[in-house]
Copies of this chain bind each other. A is one copy, B any other.
Amino acid sequence: MRLGILGGGQLARMLALAGYPLGFRFLFLDPAPDACAFPLGEALHGAYDDLDLLAQLANDTDKLTFEFENISAAALQSLSGIALDPPLEALSIKKDRNSEKALFQELAIPTTPFRTVDGPEDLAAAVQAFGRPVVLKTRSQGYDGKGQRIVRDANDDARALRELGEHRLIAERFIPFERELSVIAVRGSDGAQAFYPISENTHDNGILVRAESRPLDPMTERACALTGRLLERLQYVGTLALEFFEYEGELLANEFAPRVHNSGHWTIEGAETSQFENHLRAVAGMPLGSTAALGAVAMRNCIGTIPDPAPLLRLEGVHAHFYGKAPRPGRKLGHITVRARSEDELAARLAKLDAQLPSFRFSC
């Protein structure tokens, strides 16, 4: 199968690495001429809403998928008869935090209280309803903490509104959560669902910096059940991530990603079948692979700078994944996975990683 991927970043790159062994070939579309997946396949260089390029991408491939949700659902919709998974509806709903939250409500998936905001009066009403601080977010185009402000006092209000563009925002109650969790799930074209062990995640300035696989977490059953509702309602095909806040014993859905997800990168070494391979299997109509854990595993993101690989690679159980991207502050350049036979061994290995590379404590 020849697969067209909208987006040529590290997620597309890791999809390609997982797909060649299954016999896939790849054509990527990305506006960046040096997109890091480009060396691993054929490339179309241009905008995601360029209808000619999209038509070419569809014509030259058997199927389309995407690695990035900030693409034009409208442009894709305008192309007749394209074969695309995950389904366009997942993309359309995800493109607006209001419709995303409304879907959570429809499915009785608990989520943070929210209101739409299109100006100062709406923000004032939200503050009135939720108390301070509130979290103000753009309804679209947000990722890695971009397009968000925590509004702590009245002085912040006007600036936050101005910085975020006044309109098409939502305000959410600020949740002083105990943990951030995510479920990486996959649904096949035959309707089969599979769930990886849940991930416990740590963000820094809105960017994921670490994820730990939690195969025995007490929240597993609840988190997977909620995620399953979303997969079923969307008649989803492919890998999906649903992020939760854990707060006072309940899970509150924060957002979903209709794609492979950074908090599931540990599945490359830490699960029988990676999230990337299972996404491809689903999209190609193949049977899903086992999502069972292979030992204890954790991941660290490399943000802004690329670490010296030699000391890293001397550590037991460490696997490096560099994306071939030029360093830039705040940019995801790679990730490091650590695998061990037990949680105790994993803790010891992580301690060595952190001790040898102090900058790894929160980012590398």
Contacts and interface: CB of A to CB of B under 8 A. Distances in A.
Contact of A313 (B20, B25, B281, B324): B281
Contacts of A25: 39, 324
B21 A320 contact: yes
A13 B272 CA distance: 22
A317 B21 contact: no
Interface in A7-23: 13, 17, 20-23
A289 interface: yes
Contacts of A310: 286-287
B309 A23 contact: yes
A215 to B, nearest CB: 15
Q: What class of interface size applies to chain A in its complex with B?
A: 20 to 34
A319 interface: yes
B294 A313 contact: no
A322 interface: yes
A318 to B, nearest CB: 8
A316 interface: yes
Q: Which of A26, A41, A310 has the most CB of B within 10 A?
A: A310
Is the contact region of chain A dominated by helix, strand, or loop, or is it mixed?
mixed
A180 to B, nearest CB: 26
Given A310-B287, A316-B290, A322 B40 contact: no
Given A13-B20, A20-B324, A324-B20, A286 B272 contact: no
A314 interface: yes
A327 to B, nearest CB: 12
A13 B21 CA distance: 9
A13 B22 CA distance: 13
Q: Identify which of A40, A41, A294 gathers the most chain B CB atoms within 10 Å of its CB.
A: A40
Given A17-B17, A272-B317, A294-B294, A22 B287 contact: no
Interface in A284-326: 286-287, 289-290, 294, 306, 309-310, 313-314, 316-317, 319-322, 324
A22 B309 contact: yes
A281 B317 CA distance: 15
A302 to B, nearest CB: 11
8 contacts: A17-B17, A20-B39, A20-B40, A20-B324, A23-B309, A40-B40, A272-B317, A287-B313
